[in-house]
Amino acid sequence: MVAVIFILLIVTAGTGLFRAGTDIYYPPFGSTIQGYLAMPDTLPDQIEPYQDIGVNPEKQASLAPIIPIRIGV
């Protein structure tokens, strides 16, 4: 039972770090995500959080949530 809790904790931490990398380009995955999202003629360091300048829209759409979440009924 304890092992299951630790596995869930590790998965939750990993997905949280990945989401921080995709949303605001925080380490440890932020620079990798910037390089992935950059247009071919744009340096990854020029991409700013929450800005679409220099971002490839097709790659950005691939990082969007798969299941839309609706709040309220």
**Domain extents for the chain?**
2-62
Per-chain mean pLDDT for the chain: 87
Tell me the mean pLDDT in the region 12-41.
Answer: 87
DSSP code of 44?
G
Confidence of residue 9 (pLDDT cuts 50, 70, 90): very high
Distance CA(58)–CA(39), nearest Å, equals: 10
Residue 15 pLDDT = 86
Q: What is the pLDDT of residues 43-54, one digit of tens each?
A: 988 888 888 899
Question: Could you give the C-alpha distances from 44 to 1, 36, 37, 54, 62, in angstroms and in order?
Answer: 43, 8, 8, 8, 18
